[in-house]
């Protein structure tokens, strides 16, 4: 038996023992936390359904492909592989959509290609901005995001601009 098999049972035993020492009704506290978690899920569910519907509509309508074609001259001007543009457009909305695009890039161009490496850097250095904002801001019932969205999108834009440069610097030109 590995020590990792004992981690969760030890944590549970510690919590129960700590509750016993502090004379806390662990069961009622657990139930209270679980009901609060369910309320949080109910609070963020509308935002998630809206976001997932929007992503499905974007992909089904062909808008991602149209935007990619429109932005191709900009990509070539800054030395960014146009194959990665669908990932740039999807990543702020959907992590799984971006991973699907990465898998497509990896299978078409190869993981050691310029596009494959840039896509990998983008996956690691950008965020699912709108998903994260929808979940976290809904969970704490923040209605006005103020500067969070522009700041996060600026960070995503920076990741897009720098990804090609970083891959070129660390792996040489392709």
pLDDT by residue (tens digit) across 118-157? 999 999 998 889 888 888 887 787 878 889 889 999 999 8
Q: Pick the range with the lowest mean pLDDT from 40-54, 96-110, 119-133.
A: 40-54
Alpha carbons 157 and 25: distance in angstroms, whole number: 49
Structurally, the chain folds into a number of domains equal to: 1
At 2 the three-state DSSP class reads coil
Judge if pTM exceeds 0.85: no
37 band by pLDDT with thresholds 50, 70 and 90: confident
90 band by pLDDT with thresholds 50, 70 and 90: confident
172 — alpha (psi -120 to 50), left (phi > 0) or beta?
Answer: left
Quick check: is 95 in a domain?
yes
Quick check: is 155 in a domain?
yes
Give the side-chain half-sphere CA count within 13 A for 123: 19
User: How large a percentage of the chain has pLDDT more than 90?
Assistant: 39
Quick check: is 101 in a domain?
yes
Quick check: is 11 in a domain?
no
Alpha carbons 107 and 83: distance in angstroms, whole number: 12
Contacts 24+ apart (CB under 8 A), 31-39: none
**What is the average per-residue pLDDT within 99-116?**
92
pLDDT at residue number 173? 63
Q: Pick the range with the lowest mean pLDDT from 2-6, 27-31, 122-126.
A: 2-6
pLDDT at residue number 48? 75
pLDDT above 90: residue 3: no
Task: Look at 76 and 84; give whichever has higher pLDDT.
Answer: 84
Q: Under a CB-based contact definition with an 8 Å cutoff, are residues 81 and 75 in contact?
A: yes
Domain that holds residue 122: 27-171
Write out the two tokens for 160.
């897009």
Quick check: is 120 in a domain?
yes
Quick check: is 132 in a domain?
yes
């Amino acid at each position: 038996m590995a020590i990792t098999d004992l981690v969760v049972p030890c944590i549970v035993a510690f919590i129960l023992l700590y509750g016993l020492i502090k004379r806390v009704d662990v069961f009622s506290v657990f139930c209270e936390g679980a009901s609060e978690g369910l309320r949080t899920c109910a609070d963020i569910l509308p935002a998630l359904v809206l976001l997932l519907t929007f992503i499905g509509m974007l992909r089904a309508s062909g808008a991602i492909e149209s935007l990619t074609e429109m932005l191709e001259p900009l990509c070539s001007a800054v030395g960014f592989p146009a194959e990665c543009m669908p990932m740039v457009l999807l990543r702020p909305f959907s992590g799984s959509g971006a991973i699907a695009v990465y898998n497509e890039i990896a299978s078409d161009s190869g993981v050691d290609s310029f596009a494959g490496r840039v896509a990998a850097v983008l996956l690691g250095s950008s965020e699912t901005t709108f998903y994260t904002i929808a979940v976290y801001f809904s969970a704490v019932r923040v209605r006005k995001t103020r500067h969070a969205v522009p700041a996060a999108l600026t960070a995503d834009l920076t990741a897009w601009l720098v990804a090609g440069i970083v891959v070129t610097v660390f792996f040489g030109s392709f």
